[in-house]
Chain A
């Protein structure tokens, strides 16, 4: 496989010209986005360069414990990012979100790395970190959507929920319609992605492989595995976070909490 062409410092500098165009538009139309655009550009350079250095180091060391530590850290960051998108998340949600993201990522990533890809060393950093990253990036959106929808429904339709409790439903039975609605909200973006993948744009990984010189069919096979993996991980993470969190909407006597 031939190496993709290198991007030199000069070419990298040239790419900034592209942002300048956006900056000019912002200034001309007084969008007030110039500051954010500069800050965003700066962050992109710094963050990705640091990640590049970090990955170089991690790939060189390539120790299973180090890989596990990095993935755990990624899960914590993903949980934090997910809760940032949830309106008034109840206390303790961070642990539950991290737990759901962590376990679904572990199960799906282990299956993909070990069984499907047949990586020689399935725990090697070069395999695990990109895979875990793709899973977490998608599952964190699903976790955020699921929790946000669940809480929104519980808060907005508390009368209905309490009516079911009053009829002798357990909290899990009473919250079922809202759980279904939350899971639907969480799964919809992934299902939509399954529908249009490849038609409008090529997914990032497939693009990368093709630019790196891989056969398109080979890249497509990888991408199919990735899509299946993401669907499984998204469903798993959303289901887990709801199963772990719904109890927080109820008190010790299985009544709906008013302060949720």
Chain B
């Protein structure tokens, strides 16, 4: 999803995660209308990554465990597998053995955005909504992130990306939608 600043890309992405109400239109997931699916269940299947995601209080490990802290996860007996998390973090160039006990609030912007992606992927969402995921990253981490995202797509995940620079993601996201600013369209 490309378009000028203020065109409403982020707003639309948030609306897909049901974090912002839609003014018009209808959301469906695999043909099922949004109103048929309680919002928490929807959000667990449609993961949303904010452009500069905040950290939660506590350590990096606690930030990852937060993905499984809700009733929905407990009911399904989902929990954090630290070995899986370590391996997936390494793909994103994050060393959890070094960072795990650190306060998440003290991570750099780039580390935090990769940690947030890692957490979202650990939930195994059907759809991943990512707002400028490589905005805070250096070239090397951005490449690692792109590799991880393409594996997510290869594994059958649906990916919606918001980007200023659509050409850069062309291989990963073959369908480009341009949002144009329209009075009152947001």
Contact = CB atoms under 8 A, between A and B. Distances in A.
Interface stretch (B13-21, B94-102, B143-151): B13-21
Interface string A160-178: 1011111111100100010
A253 B41 contact: no
Interface residues of B, number: 29
Interface in A144-174: 157, 159-160, 162-170, 173
A165 B43 contact: yes
Nearest to A170: B40
Given A159-B50, A167-B44, A255-B18, A173 B57 contact: no
B87 interface: no
Contacts of B61: none
B71 A166 contact: no
Interface residues of A, number: 20
Nearest to A167: B67
A215 interface: no
Contact of B53 (A163, A168, A170): A163
Question: Which of A165, A167, A170 counts the most B-chain CB atoms under 10 A from its CB?
Answer: A167
A162 B19 contact: yes
B167 interface: no
A254 B21 contact: no
Given A166-B19, A167-B66, A160 B54 contact: yes
Interface of B: 17-21, 34, 38-41, 43-44, 47-48, 50, 53-57, 66-67, 69-73, 119, 123
22 contacts: A159-B50, A159-B54, A160-B55, A160-B57, A163-B53, A163-B56, A165-B19, A165-B39, A166-B47, A166-B50, A167-B43, A167-B66, A167-B70, A167-B119, A169-B69, A170-B71, A253-B18, A253-B21, A255-B18, A255-B21, A255-B39, A258-B20
Interface of A: 157, 159-160, 162-170, 173, 177, 251, 253-256, 258
